[in-house]
Structure 1
Amino acid sequence: MLTIFLVEDEMIELSLLRDHIDWAGMGIQVAGTAKNGRKAWEQIQLLKPDIVLTDVRMPIMDGLQLASLVQANFEWMKIVFLSGHDEFGYVKSALQTGAIGYLLKPINRAELSDVMAKVRDEVEKENLLRISRHVLIEKRVEELYRSGGEGREQSWLDLIRIDPRFELKKYVTALIRGDRSCAADIQPTLRSLLSANAIEGFVIKLNEREWLLAVPFEAGADYECNWHELISAIKLAHDRSVIIGIADTAAALNRAREMLGEARRAAEESFYIGYGHMIHSGQAREGTDTVFASEDALLLKELYAHDRPAFLSRVEHYFETLVRMRASRQKVQEVALDVLKVIGTACAKLEDQAKIEIGEQHEWNREMLELDTVPNIMSFLLELAARIGRYFEERGQDRHLLLVREVAEHIDKAYAEALTIDQLAAKVYISPNYLRALFKEKQGCTIHEYLTNVRLSKAVELLADRTLKIHDVANKVGYDNTSYFCSFFYKTKGVTPNEYRKKYL
């Protein structure tokens, strides 16, 4: 259905036009109305109707001035004028501005229907031309980003021949790279976001995991907000994480290949920082091939000694160093294979059932080489080492009790911190719900009760030091809110902290 915008300075006539014409019967929907050209122009820029039906003579900005603005900015938009019988001079000027027709007041419905039928034909022709023209433009733009040499030069000449304005337009280029979690095509989502933000950009699918986005450069535009919105929208629509690499250079599309190269270098940072980020080409760091040798003997000793925390800590140290160095993908994989070799050696004598449950080295190697980021590689190694470490522990001990003890020991040391069940569960590589159940079973109380008891015990000790104020004691045992601490203390001990200090200490 076509859309029309109505402009008439007489309120009664405007209401009649809007409410008493069978626009739907002509396949037209009223997009908006205004009483003068200036107000109309503000809305037309936002609504972009197919047709503007405007009075010729109006205050503030007349129909001729409005038509000139429309034709200069939206040459495809069709103008129809309304005029009185004594305004032939205006009508003649109106037709010279590119209007498709005019109607005399009062409006004859048959004439209106005939004019709108003519307008519909013109709009449909214009739409076909616009679609064909847009397809040609998109094809040339894609060629500029993909090709080089003479082919690129010819594509550029063809593009500015179709629309000379491209010679002066600058574009921002972004490369969007998706993780391997799914094969969803995010191109429709990208196009929808451009449309929703009224951005006339280009979306090009480079391969199954990469898409290119080129948007017109505007000084002062908040592109950062758009990039973050894009990352969130893709995650929400496709459950797929992406990284967006952005070229710092904004230039005309004859430099498309160079801008794509910058954006690609930025996107390569996904190997080091993972997905769910945006990064500019100026933030990308050069890699290094500095030799980085893993200390196999020490790793092996720690694994055999069942010192799982030390082993995991050393693995984390290796990969944090590799990221800081921006070591090459090959070097990172070499170190990972070294660590897998150490783990494999330690597990060489495990019984067959353990190998079925945990896997064997050739399986680990294959799975690791399929991972495409350092965070994923490190997580894979840490999880594997944790599984094996727990296996060693449970051969002679209740591993569930060990996990609970480890959590309790951490609470004993870190009671003053803002501890959460998610943090505690992450330390022992199990889910929060599973940890809650285990802790209750092995310790005889909930994690919250245990933490509360530890904090209460520490608070009583600190109250003995009369140089400490009550809010100091509260802070030292993990409570930022002194009132809450006093309330909790009173409910537990039956007296306030001050009263306890005076009465018992």
Structure 2
Amino acid sequence: MSYSVFLVEDEVVVRESIRDSVPWAGSGFHLAGEAADGEMALPLIQDLKPDILITDIKMPFMDGLELARIVRRNLPWVKIIILSGHDEFSFAREAISLAVTDYLLKPLSAADLLATLRRVAGQIEAENAAREKIENLNRSLATGLQLMAERFLNDLATGLVPPGEALRRAGELGLALTARCYIVASLTPRVRPGGDASSQYAEYLKAVDLIGSLLAANLDVVRFSRSLRELILIFKGEEPGELERHCYAVCHSLKYEVERKTACALTARIGAAREGIQGIAESLAEAETAHRFAYIFGEDSVIGIEDARRVNFRGSQLLKLDPRGLAEGLRRGERADIPALLEGYLARLASEPADSFYRAFAAAELALTAARFVEELGGEADRVLPELGRLAEEARAGEGELRSCISQLLAAAFDFREARKRDKYGDLLLRARAYIDANFADPEISLNAVARQVSVSPSHFSTIFSQEAGRTFIAYLTETRIRRAMELLKTTALRSSEIAYRVGYKDPHYFSYIFKASAGCTPTEFRRRGSEP
């Protein structure tokens, strides 16, 4: 390593002698700059930031001691070597008070200067080594505390820490967990196909770092890793409804930013808001339940426990019997995957005794899996899968007949799954629109009121309505009111203020403003245009 040196000396002969007589090349030092007095030197030193400053004491404008004082204050790591004549020991005492590194008497030889520079370099190296050791110790301590915190949070989230002990241990680890309510979200960044394993892992780490930076200033969220691929967020607050809205908003924002700035997609699974610190484990368990329905709502989506409940999920009734890979294929595959699923299933049959009894048993196993899958989605297996009734008969008839029947059954199951995806919010949206259409004239109608009517949280209802209706709740309500106002303007002689009250606006002036923003003209102008021939 080469250390940079800056020289300040007002005597030209001395300055040039030091500059030209010291063999800088190969010495481990280089002369970064020079100046004739402190005033000229200071801006150069602040710009170059040398490792070592060599300065004379007596100089015009700004002497060496004043320069040393400023450098010590602004650039405390710079080592300072003072040059002085034999009769300047009073200056030497002041230099010592400034904690200069060394003090040399003029005249001096190049060898003496190099020896001093090497001693100073050794001091710099020793300080750097000590600093690095302290930093390593601090990093080790921080890593140890982080590992302890993550272990504690994992235990807490799985219900292994008693409530009375949880807050005490959290305080010892510096974790701010005290709150009335908690809600847990589980995040899984998934790298999109493309690139080698190294670049994919780099993109995953980029997504994780981005999530960390976006949450850094959010004191109401505690984040930890549950596994290499899963991040857990614990949201805390005082009011369940507000906490739930905050959680959904943050998860949607994280999804947007991750998918915009990295090559990853993001899935978020969210439990319900729970009171008490023991509610963290309960909320995480609900988030895990919601994850089982990713195949309905899409792998890369924000899924809440209410979503799972709304599609009639009955986790406790799921059957254990399951053909190898078939259930997973139904959940995550596509219709085009049917030939591969069929071959995989029939390959299993080929590996077992080829008698009609075993084929009938395996066919029953498949029927149960397909029926369970359809009923998970809220369908009636007998209606959706008419092939179920003849599956056992075809199994006894032979492999060819069984192959055809299974293919038709899988196709029907996939078609029903896709239909449920398209229509998963259809009933909810119809009920919401019907309520708005019947109550738009009520000035007190609100998103919260409609959400209550359809049994969905306000934040989740807002997201669902915007996605499915193609406009926000407020935009739809405004369109409904303005459309009715137009009808009244065309068909009645009511004044604008009366029409405003009839369509849900308390303030006629605000109604006129909204009407003009929507229709491009005032209510009076709209009525006049309608009466023109």
Specify the TM-score bucket, using the shorter chain as the normaliser: 0.3 to 0.5
Greater C-alpha radius of gyration = 2
